[in-house]
């Protein structure tokens, strides 16, 4: 049955399943205190290092949570800086960061998050295979200038 389905469809389905599971797991926790706004970052705990191409595709679930009674304004220097990331080792040694497009408009980006609500966005972080080996890493993220981090482990596939 699965022999007739192209590999890219199976891979996409697997990534979506991982993202849904990470989202469900993060939903069970309350990492943002009442009356505060904060960012929750979800990634798969173990990510296969062997993928085709030059990048390892790391799915990231971003949940900007407003647990206050007030609407909060969101602002970024430009639309390219709404989502930014840096990957380091557990000892904070730099590995990779997001590179911005040369044609990014200079205009500021604005948004808002309603009181007692959540903005959820899924991003894909392309990890350059030439920079990574099996082991533990930290992903630090800025989303609408709110910071969050998650840890993940790259493991070899069978």
What are the pLDDT digits (tens) for 98-144? Answer: 877 778 888 999 999 999 999 999 999 999 999 999 999 999 999 99
Which structural domain, as residue segments, surrounds residue 133? 2-155
How many structural domains are present in the chain? 1
We report the CATH number of the domain holding residue 115 as: 2.60.40.2360
Q: What is the pTM of this model?
A: 0.76
Q: Per-residue pLDDT for the chain (158 aa), expressed as one digit of tens each? A: 556 777 666 677 777 666 665 555 555 455 777 778 999 999 999 998 876 678 899 999 999 999 999 999 999 999 888 999 999 999 999 999 987 777 888 899 999 999 999 999 999 999 999 999 999 999 999 999 999 999 999 998 76
Compute the distance between CA of residue 28 and CA of residue 127 in angstroms, rounded to an integer. 28
């Amino acid at each position: 049955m699965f022999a007739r389905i192209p590999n890219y469809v199976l891979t996409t389905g697997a990534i979506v399943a991982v993202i849904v599971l990470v989202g469900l797991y993060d939903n069970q926790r309350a990492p943002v205190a009442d009356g505060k706004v904060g960012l929750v970052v979800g990634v798969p705990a173990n990510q296969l290092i062997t993928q085709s191409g030059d990048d390892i595709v790391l799915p990231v679930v971003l949940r900007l949570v407003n647990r206050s009674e007030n609407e909060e304004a969101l602002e970024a220097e430009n639309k390219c800086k709404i989502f930014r990331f840096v990957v380091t080792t557990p000892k904070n040694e730099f590995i990779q960061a997001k590179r911005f497009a040369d044609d990014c408009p200079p205009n500021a980006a604005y948004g808002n998050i309603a009181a007692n609500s959540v903005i959820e966005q899924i991003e894909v972080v392309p990890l350059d295979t030439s920079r990574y080996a099996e082991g533990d890493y930290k992903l630090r993220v800025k989303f609408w200038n709110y910071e969050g981090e998650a840890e993940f482990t790259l493991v070899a596939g069978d």
